Amino acid sequence: MADYDVIIIGGGPGGYVCAIRCAQLGLKTACVEGRDALGGTCLNVGCIPSKALLHASHSLHEAEHNFAKMGLKGKSPSVDWDQMKAYKEDVIGQNTKGIEFLFKKNKVDWIKGWGSIPAAGQVKVGDEVHTAKNIVIATGSEASSLPGIEVDEEMIMTSTGALDLPKVPRKMVVIGAGVIGLEMGSVYARLGSEVTVVEFLDQVTPGMDGEIAKTFQRTLKKQGLKFVMGAAVQSVEKLKTKAKVHYKLRKNDKEDMIEADVVLVATGRRPFTDGLGLDALGVTLSPRGQVATNDHWATNIDGIYAIGDAIDGPMLAHKAEDEGMAVAEVIAGKKGHVNYNVIPGVVYTNPEVAAVGQTEEQLKDAGHAYKVGKFSFMGNGRAKAMFAGEGFVKILVDAETDRILGAHILGPQAGEMIHEICVAMEFGASAQDIALTCHAHPTCSEAVREAALACGDGAIHA
């Protein structure tokens, strides 16, 4: 008799969600987590703390730039950085404690410590070996730095250090204009730092629809972020009180340097599977170090599954959560399914950027005949009242059938609005289905309907 039906290694969004669903399906479940709190990178040093700082710094931006316009007069607030960090810690605590409560409620055992898999059916934590019929690897990812750069989390840091700086830096260099670089860069730019983003490619946020990315970068520039594009960072030199970031421009091989008080290295993440003993066990990994799985999240070893950032696909908390629920269903003998064509991606700057499905570039490359419907937030009354007229909604549909293939939003609360399109895509809807759906007025979501109308006979307010 095994101790458990399922042991999940890792208590992040993939792992804890998987554990709760397993327990709900009647499986005896434990989750191994070595951090002091559940929630993984996302809750402790990722999504949640960064959103707290984004909210706080956006509020400051509103006070500085828009309050007086609305007749709200007075001295604009100053930054008490320690208090802002305390607020962030409080938000983290509320969320991680919430998961602990959910574990108790669902009778999931939290095995505290770092787990390894000495053999199929066994999970070792400390000196103790726990047995399980099924094991799910949900160990997430870690920041991957660049050769020539030594991260110390003080002057040269990953997002973890950047969320907990002792003070707001005067000058910050961000290496990489991906999601982390732009979200954290936005926070510090709004708090008064001079932020320069150095990016290898000629476009921000690789993989994003090109037209959206261009407008997004322009918006961020207006907010004060500086960009050095097409620049490959070679090394970071650490001096006593500052760092020098050396880079080479790709177009002419010209070398240059930029100084900073702190450097954020945001050049991607890689699967974290250290210490699990996967090599000895013979678990197949991809050349990129991801745990190889089939379409039921099973590895090549019987009874061992893997989900989330540790396997292929976008490194997103909600993708991991969906896989966590699906693999629980599979283990319980039901049908688990994840629709990888409808996974939204959101950048939580202000304005936000949200996307789902194909980009225009992908459709062009695939030779897919498509139509585009666009609508600017300048034509949306609610957005204008919120000083958020910048940006637009872009919907891509099949030229023949009008079926929605992708949608991209740069604008206020884009990360909330995208879900209307996700649901529509799950139902195989056409743009006309959205266009014929009554949308409440005045809402920012009306811009989605207008973009859908623009795929047909035309938007009304354009």
Smallest separation (angstroms) from ligand NAI to the CB of 108? 26
Stretch that binds ligand NAI, among 200-208, 238-246, 351-359, 387-395 (CB under 6 A): 200-208
- Sole binder of ligand NAI in the list 15, 169, 181, 336 (CB under 6 A): 181
Which of residues 178, 389, 391, 411 is near ligand NAI by CB under 6 A? 178
Output 414 or 429, the one with its CB closest to ligand NAI.
414
Residue placing its CB nearer to ligand NAI in the complex, 3 or 312: 312
Kindly determine how many residues on this chain lie close enough to bind ligand NAI according to the rule CB under 6 A.
26
Stretch that binds ligand NAI, among 169-177, 352-360, 370-378, 443-451 (CB under 6 A): 169-177
For the bound state, the minimum distance from the C-beta of residue 259 to ligand NAI, rounded and expressed in Å, comes to 17
Q: 3-state secondary structure string, the chain?
A: CCCEEEEEECCCHHHHHHHHHHHHCCCCEEEEECCCCCCHHHHHHCHHHHHHHHHHHHHHHHHHHCCHHHCCCCCCCCCCHHHHHHHHHHHHHHHHHHHHHHHHHHCCEEEECCEECCCCCEEEECCEEEEEEEEEECCCEEECCCCCCCCCCCCEECHHHHCCCCCCCCEEEEECCCHHHHHHHHHHHHCCCEEEEECCCCCCCCCCCHHHHHHHHHHHHHCCCEEECCEEEEEEEECCCCEEEEEEECCCCCEEEEEECEEEECCCEEECCCCCCHHHHCCCECCCCCECCCCCCECCCCCEEECHHHCCCCCCHHHHHHHHHHHHHHHCCCCCCCCCCCCCEEECCCCEEEEEECCHHHHHHHCCCEEEEEEEHHHCHHHHHCCCCCCEEEEEEECCCCEEEEEEEEECCHHHHHHHHHHHHHCCCEHHHHHCCCCCCCCCCHHHHHHHHHCCCCCCCC
Smallest distance, Å, CB 380 to ligand NAI?
Answer: 24
Q: Pick out residues in 295-334 that bind ligand NAI (CB under 6 A).
A: 315-316
In this chain, which stretch among 19-27, 179-187, 299-307, 403-411 interacts with ligand NAI, using CB under 6 A? 179-187
Q: Is 269 in the site for ligand NAI (CB under 6 A)?
A: yes
| Among positions 34, 113, 192, 206, the unique one binding ligand NAI when judged by CB under 6 A | 206
- 175 interacts with ligand NAI by CB under 6 A: yes
In the complex with ligand NAI, the residue whose CB is nearer, 316 or 452, is 316
For the CB of residue 324, give the shortest distance to ligand NAI in the complex, in Å.
17
d(CA 453, CA 458) in angstroms, rounded, equals 5
x/- contact string, 223-262, with ligand NAI (CB under 6 A)? ---------xx-----------------------------
Pick the binder of ligand NAI from 34, 224, 230, 268 (CB under 6 A).
268
- With CB atoms as reference, the residue minimizing the distance to ligand NAI is 178
Rounded least distance, CB 284 to ligand NAI, Å: 22
- Pick the closest to residue 403 from 374, 445, 371 (CA basis): 371
346 binds ligand NAI, rule: CB under 6 A? yes
Binding range to ligand NAI, per CB under 6 A, among 116-124, 185-193, 194-202, 218-226: 194-202
- Asked if 441 is an active-site residue, the reply is yes
Q: Which of these ranges, 30-38, 62-70, 199-207, 319-327, lies near ligand NAI under the rule CB under 6 A?
A: 199-207
To the nearest whole angstrom, how small is the minimum distance from the Cβ of residue 34 to ligand NAI? 21
Distance between CA 210 and CA 215 in Å, rounded? 9
| Closest CB to ligand NAI among residues 319, 449 | 319
- The burial of 296, by beta-carbon neighbours within 10 Å (0-12 exposed, 13-18 middle, 19 or more buried), is given as middle
Question: Of the residues 65, 419, 441, 461, which is catalytic?
Answer: 441
Instruction: Quote the tokens at residue 364.
Output: 């062009």
Find the binder of ligand NAI among 95, 122, 196, 267 (CB under 6 A).
267
Query: Active-site positions?
Result: 441
Under the rule (CB under 6 A), what is the footprint of ligand NAI?
A: 146, 175-181, 183, 198-201, 206, 232-233, 266-269, 315-316, 345-348
